[in-house]
Structure 1
């Protein structure tokens, strides 16, 4: 039975946008109990379609044609009061970034209770009781503790579960999930996908799941719609679209998915070691007070490895495994508690002041979120020249080098006069790469550098990093929670769990014949594993090569 219907929907963008319409002539139907995945890159119109359903379009963006019919009512004709009553009660929504969607100053229980309060349902005591039940239903490990916590005290996966609890509080008939697993590690992602699937079955709830990851589509979708530049270019049952994609754009998206298995690569371990890490430790102490002891977290526990010239080592693990802390210790954004980090015989871990500054330029970092790591008030030219100028390079020379770097990473040299907000996410990440190269380092640490990017943009950035590594003879540490990405770019892989290295070896060995149970669990949690096998059986070609 059809529960929701969109007919010929067009949504106009403000004057001066890159195209007239965010969504153009889109039609779709959603049946009760169905999971419909809408797939496309940033700017494809998938999230804008969902926002139109909820009456949450940005200012200056408006529907100019079509209808959205829910249980006989056209939502485009509903007033704000009707839409407010509809949100949460009939149609719930899970947003992509729970930390920005949750109020940082309110406890979790109060935020869930607020959903009932807004609809004038239940007593204050009953609201808290129902909030606790919901947190239990979505699988929070300690609901009684979580209900009293603030958002920053929960992990990313736990915050996403809270968002699901809030979206399900009023038992809606339709759930919209907008990229709810994009930035999560593979095991947490698998848990969230299973949770949504279980809740769908339990409540016969219809789900619109918005994503750019075809692995996710393979795991949960009944039907798939593929959008490009605001239009639907392909739709059909999930298996048909995944195994027999007709449209070139769909084929491109599928081809951009990194393969799950490692590829044989040249052995770099015969090359000299450019970085030697011995017994690296970092301990954090949190909490504690007059009557309680502080909690001790061994974020990095006795880490030891060598990085060879021209080699890429992947450091993989779940959130909280210590991989990002390790990277920050190596570049000395965080001071390690003990251990040695040797570059050219110099122990970076023991340096301070001018000595640290003089040697730090040899090891640079690409951060996960280029928007928050680039100063929004500085031009790209200033961002790229600050480092070299601070080390004594004349500004004119540094600016000329900045122009060269922009072209090297695939941007126009004229971008030096523009600001970060004028670029797409993939373009900003290219700026971040250019900044990391500005001091001509020997080693690059890429910390989740492609985790939030569309698969095709991700593939472009990975190809760019591989080209730059060859051209500049760089060595690289690639920190990621995505084992498919690690398989594509890394020579060797280090697997971390709770601060410790549990497995280390060639990418091919670790990813195809893992020895540790934890590594095997990470591999099994990769979304779309069954699809990869089905595609290989059907065509004889892995997804990443089809």
Structure 2
């Protein structure tokens, strides 16, 4: 193997006083070679991203290197000042961030943002920058690049924004590319496209790549070598095939075991004597005024959707962004009103209710949102956030707060009611979201992408919690996800949606193992690692 492009030797990064442990990264050593993809794998808090931030000179305030070195082209990056780091960033070391909407400037057009990369390093004339930006957008496969270059980030989809980030990272043809969870929140089909694009560009440009992820399915898809981290330390390091097929450490085995879809339960669904929820011929049309890419048009988000959900059943709704699955969930909880059709809960048509009648029935259906941090008021203590619903429905404040404490205990977070949302991890915030959904004692919970942004091990814990609560509290679940693996793990039955219509439905086992619709087969084929194609093969 060639000399490493990057060498990390004995790196230790100290956390500020009061942190949950002393070091973010402790005595970490690994190399990244040219023309290879090193996947650094671990849960949130494992230190995988912190080491990458140290390479980029982007350590958070209060985190400092206390030992070790990071060697790049003979230079120890830990000894560089900010000005020296800026010369390397983008020019010789590129980075793709997890959330492009946060990393991109919402007030600047795409072309101008790519042009800034050249401007920061005094490369090319303004006209040449624009021309090169267009070439990059073409290279990363962005549709209608001549229009995209004039677009603002909000006018692009998640996958398109990630392609823009990749274009920016590649603009100056760096020798090392760091990709920090670049596909975590994307649909499986979009994720598959981005992974294929990154691997192809890495091969064509001959770059060294550090790819940070929590998903061993992604590792199986693209990795040459794998570095597994836990609580700031490396627990396993080796060739991708060796780590995937013969993991040596219990933690590595646990991460592989946590990949959703490894264990598909036998179908437990029986035809119910009377459904809890009966949806009949539901239609919902959104009318857009048009924009950069689209003229004014009508979007049929729900097009003649019908199904039933039994008491005690978990029904999965699966599809890509734009399939209508989230609109369906919002109609069920009446955050959206359908244009036609019926939503009958125990025989009562929710779609026709208004005012006090709607308020009375709607408490029977509650929602768990995808992003619990965005759905929680950062200035409200979590106990009060849970108690607000019951208080609004006439429960005395003291009783509602006591009930909030009990619900937090139920979801495994006892004694934390006085804390604020920012004091919790993503998985803990999702537990708070579940507690809040339970506060009004519902019969049906709609979980909208409730685990899509979580590490696979935390995801497994939340799925186990939902399954446990469902049985203990006699709940029914409408579980919305883009990932058939997750749906197969928790759901009794699955509906597959495409362009607002149901294209397939059946038991979870039947849909996952013997799909009938071409679209379902496409979703399954896009799951990373389902048919491993290791780069080290």
Q: Evaluate the alpha carbon distance shift between residue 422 and residue 203 of structure 1 in structure 2; reply closer, same or farther with a 3 A threshold.
A: same
- Aligned partner of 1:530 in structure 2 is 531
C-alpha contact 1:176 1:209 (8 A) present in aligned 2: yes
- Aligned partner of 2:111 in structure 1 is 109
C-alpha contact 1:260 1:487 (8 A) present in aligned 2: no
- Aligned partner of 2:355 in structure 1 is 353
C-alpha contact 1:409 1:464 (8 A) present in aligned 2: yes
- Aligned partner of 1:463 in structure 2 is 464
Q: Cα deviations across residues 327-356 of structure 1 (Å, max 9, x unaligned)?
A: 011111112222111112221111222121
C-alpha contact 1:261 1:508 (8 A) present in aligned 2: no
C-alpha contact 2:272 2:311 (8 A) present in aligned 1: no
- Aligned partner of 2:120 in structure 1 is 118
Counterpart secondary structure, 2:417:
helix
C-alpha contact 2:314 2:476 (8 A) present in aligned 1: yes
Q: Evaluate the alpha carbon distance shift between residue 407 and residue 174 of structure 1 in structure 2; reply closer, same or farther with a 3 A threshold.
A: same
Kindly state the Cα deviation for residue 415 of structure 1 after the two structures are TM-superposed: 1.1
- Aligned partner of 2:236 in structure 1 is 234
Kindly state the Cα deviation for residue 246 of structure 1 after the two structures are TM-superposed: 1.1
Counterpart of 1:100 (choices 94, 99, 102) is 102
Counterpart secondary structure, 1:520:
helix
Counterpart secondary structure, 1:106:
coil
C-alpha contact 2:369 2:375 (8 A) present in aligned 1: yes
More off after superposition, 392-401 vs 81-90? 392-401
Q: Cα deviations across residues 243-270 of structure 1 (Å, max 9, x unaligned)?
A: 1111111111111112257432212323
- Aligned partner of 2:130 in structure 1 is 128
Q: For structure 2, which runs of at least 5 residues remain unmatched after alignment?
A: none
Structure 2 residue 248 is matched with structure 1 residue 246: yes
Q: Evaluate the alpha carbon distance shift between residue 114 and residue 177 of structure 1 in structure 2; reply closer, same or farther with a 3 A threshold.
A: same
- Aligned partner of 2:421 in structure 1 is 420
Counterpart secondary structure, 2:416:
helix
Q: What RMSD over aligned residues (CA atoms) do the two structures have, in Å? A: 1.4
More off after superposition, 421-430 vs 399-408? 399-408
Q: Evaluate the alpha carbon distance shift between residue 293 and residue 37 of structure 1 in structure 2; reply closer, same or farther with a 3 A threshold.
A: closer
C-alpha contact 1:261 1:511 (8 A) present in aligned 2: no
Q: Evaluate the alpha carbon distance shift between residue 239 and residue 75 of structure 1 in structure 2; reply closer, same or farther with a 3 A threshold.
A: same
- Aligned partner of 1:280 in structure 2 is 282
C-alpha contact 2:221 2:533 (8 A) present in aligned 1: no
Counterpart secondary structure, 1:416:
coil
C-alpha contact 1:200 1:207 (8 A) present in aligned 2: yes
Kindly state the Cα deviation for residue 271 of structure 1 after the two structures are TM-superposed: 4.3
Counterpart secondary structure, 2:471:
helix
- Aligned partner of 2:174 in structure 1 is 172
Counterpart secondary structure, 1:336:
coil
1:70-109 alignment to 2 at 5 Å? 70-109=72-111
Q: How many equivalent pairs are there?
A: 530
- Aligned partner of 2:432 in structure 1 is 431
Q: Cα deviations across residues 375-400 of structure 1 (Å, max 9, x unaligned)?
A: 11111111111111111112222122
Moved over 6 A (4+): none
Quick one: distance in 2 between partners of 1:427 and 1:330? Answer: 26
C-alpha contact 1:245 1:251 (8 A) present in aligned 2: yes
Quick one: distance in 1 between partners of 2:267 and 2:290? Answer: 48
Q: Evaluate the alpha carbon distance shift between residue 288 and residue 425 of structure 1 in structure 2; reply closer, same or farther with a 3 A threshold.
A: closer
- Aligned partner of 2:152 in structure 1 is 150
1:106-505 alignment to 2 at 5 Å? 106-259=108-261, 262-288=264-290, 294-412=296-414, 414-505=415-506
C-alpha contact 2:192 2:528 (8 A) present in aligned 1: yes
- Aligned partner of 2:514 in structure 1 is 513
Quick one: distance in 1 between partners of 2:270 and 2:65? Answer: 56
Quick one: distance in 2 between partners of 1:257 and 1:532? Answer: 17
Kindly state the Cα deviation for residue 26 of structure 1 after the two structures are TM-superposed: 0.6
Kindly state the Cα deviation for residue 532 of structure 1 after the two structures are TM-superposed: 11
Counterpart of 1:41 (choices 40, 43, 59) is 43
- Aligned partner of 1:542 in structure 2 is none
Q: For structure 1, which runs of at least 5 residues remain unmatched after alignment?
A: 534-546
Normalised by the size of structure 1, how large is the TM-score?
0.95
Counterpart secondary structure, 1:299:
strand
C-alpha contact 1:262 1:509 (8 A) present in aligned 2: no
Kindly state the Cα deviation for residue 179 of structure 1 after the two structures are TM-superposed: 0.2
Normalised by the size of structure 2, how large is the TM-score?
0.97
Q: Evaluate the alpha carbon distance shift between residue 102 and residue 288 of structure 1 in structure 2; reply closer, same or farther with a 3 A threshold.
A: closer
Counterpart secondary structure, 2:531:
helix
Quick one: distance in 2 between partners of 1:268 and 1:406? Answer: 33
Kindly state the Cα deviation for residue 531 of structure 1 after the two structures are TM-superposed: 4.1
C-alpha contact 2:7 2:70 (8 A) present in aligned 1: yes
- Aligned partner of 1:541 in structure 2 is none
C-alpha contact 1:268 1:311 (8 A) present in aligned 2: no
C-alpha contact 1:284 1:297 (8 A) present in aligned 2: yes
